[in-house]
Structure 1
């Protein structure tokens, strides 16, 4: 069963859509509603939301901004956008961020139900056990092996530093339909770990090829709609992806490129594990201008993947999260621990100073620490034992309790002081945290 979050700054629309879905007969467990993006983020952080239905224009935080934050928190959350505007720019941004549909107000009931039904159906793919998965792949997939010369050239571009446009390389690229125009590039590498399957199954080599082929299909299915990319097999049970931007798309500052790459990495890991049953490690490079840097980008993803040795329970690594330049030689375990402790310490200080700020986001805390939201979340929980946003809520709730018991401030004044946009939403969070309402605690 699925959990759905509906977000619209018109409460009547929220209630109407919730009522429509409640009586639809769809496989829905809970429906949550929020009247602004900040309330929605709290639900996304605290509840297991599968589908987000959001308006595009909502005052302080737009639907586009909410989508960006939602994808940082849970990249696999599915999104349907509703809007009173048929503006192409809004629709383009929503689709680029992974929206599954873009519906125009006034909402047609049947159209919305069809859209929700379609999204839930595609989320409901069966997860096979290993034996069934291999059998299904053998029965239904005819592996179309990538052209060996094309794969060899792409791997050489990454490993042999031949990215300069020498005539022979250019001709080979043209013959193999390789289009590397850029001029901006990033590399994502996926290292498959067949030994990590739940039943510790030992796969034959031919079955590993089937699983690698299935993983490559997941990559292509995820990236085909909105990305200019090349995906291919690499040695050591790896899949490499070269992502490129032209000047126009890279110049669009409406979407943070690094956050988008991390969303891709986390979604790839999530879906490969969900549908194929084994783990993988994903390395993500920085973005550099010029195809001559493909070799360097490949070295970056290889270094990023190495960090899985230090963090066995983490699977997506961005090269820029690790301060390679501060060490004159390979860092020791003590150096790495000190670096990580410093990141958590600074994040803790920033949270204590700003937890009452309306609209505080994980992305903001991460930016202040010059690390990605993904890595900060992981480190914070590993070092403190508590989820970062749960810690923010704890600080807010303890302060609100102190204010209720020791001052005569009204509910709306307290909610403002601890960072909530509306008193009603504050009361919901308070009751969920303490088990009683603010007024009951006051009594």
Structure 2
């Protein structure tokens, strides 16, 4: 649904157009009001507006100048100019300023609706062109290397996708079909002099290494490569050889080709690189474990030594005494899930963490410690990001934190975790509800106290120090009506009360509820009640 802004220094014109024209018939969700070009620009900086209807003749900054500002700063916002002057020069200048349309006052509701409807259609066509399949496909092609690298990096760090989602993503990005196939990893750490390169030069080197690898390993291997979080180049490889080919021969071919890649880096890029070849696994379930094992070998057997080449056997990768809880470190992390308020996903993550703990009974003491600290850290991070002490959010669970690690079983840790997460969630939901209740009360109080003045969404936003879009959405969510509906309803209720219980004149009542012209008030009131203010007073005041 579209957003419309009406701008005119004559308030009665703004009020009439905003409240009497049936904008909802053509898909206008909200009508915003401004009484000068400067106020319009301020609102445009806070709110996404689709169409601006502005008078040409306004003090300070004209509608023409406003339309030029909009054209320069709000590329997708369309302007419709209104003027009581029929000179052709205005029309020509309006066209030069990229104005969508030009109307002469007085303008009928039908003509105005038809013009805005045409402009809305133009906007839809422009957005359709932006999101067209052809344009998306072209943009996708231009960014394929980065998108492929990002997806691979997520998988290496343990991010989980359903099989169908991952297959769809890989197919969309043109990644070879590795599913269910045996693969190996090639990890390349670029060394001197590359670590001294500035970013652009290093990117060119990485691109060159990727091209050389594709050239050397084709046609025997399919490759998918990217960068990990340590800035190492990582290649996922599966062989194109027939299954009858001996595994030992495949491994020799892989090692020989990896050595050729290292030599090519020496010869053509004038630098050094350490290359590690992982053991084999099945894609995608073994990808993260193979990567972790290769990194472990790099740390333990290579360290700071440079320009080495090393094959990592599966047996060697499995020698570690204790394996970490992989679910603790999947992306997004537990801390990130809490920060984003994704409570259901966080619960699913915790279920997997405890399933993994239960499956490793022989290592449980060390792993309980690891899980405990990770969960406690995520809870503390969430509390402090929200400006609160953890003790105030989780209550009695905080005392157990101070005791160290009192848990000797998975069940005890799981019970404590459930209680902590429940406390965090309920406290957050309560705070959210309280803050929304206070916001609604503040908005309504401001409107009631300033009904004769500016009670536009922009003015309310300035008063409560919040973005107008947020105020609009939260108000509708909590009350079931728009802020503008509340303002309109309150004005009509106060008008009825004054008509029936005070001797105030019609123009005085109009001014007291924010209508500068009695004529505009009479029109609005009649639309609301079916009677003019005087008719309403005559009919009901004496009853």
Length-normalised TM-score, structure 1: 0.45
More relative contact order, 1 or 2 (CA 8 Å, 6+ apart):
1
